[in-house]
Amino acid sequence: MSIQRIEPGARMSGAVVHGNTVYLAGQVGDGESVTDQCKDALAEVDRLLAAAGSDKSKILQTIIYLSDIAYFGEMNAVWEGWIDPANPPARATSEAKLAAPKYKVEFIVTAAI
């Protein structure tokens, strides 16, 4: 099976397609609030999924990291407005120290094509 790398860089690719599965790099967003960062990051998820020939209705699993679990409710408000309600993926959410202090949330997505 071939491997397709979408937006490859020196450190990582934006997404990798293997077979009928696409694996996205962790997506973070800009903005001061968790809401703004979630909306921005999920827009990037939409863009990368489209580049791979997929969309949010085909997400298999999402792992979400929050810099503070106190953001759980705010993140869920954005998430629930964004996901395809007919096709919710498997999901896990944890608190973790993210790559830079400005980041409050990161989404790691695996989807079918």
In sequence order, the β-bridge partners of residue 112 are 21
Domains of the chain: 3-112 (3.30.1330.40)
**Confidence class for position 109, pLDDT limits 50, 70, 90:** very high
Strands (E), 1-113: 3-8, 13-18, 21-24, 59-66, 90-95, 105-112
Q: Give the per-residue pLDDT at 1.
A: 76
Residue 88 — φ and ψ, nearest 5°? -70, 135
pLDDT in tens, 61-101: 999 999 999 999 999 999 999 999 999 999 999 999 999 99
Q: Which amino acid is at 97?
A: K
Q: What is the pLDDT of residue 2?
A: 93
pTM of the model: 0.96
Q: How far apart are CA 98 and CA 75, in angstroms?
A: 15
**DSSP 8-state assignment for residue 68:** S
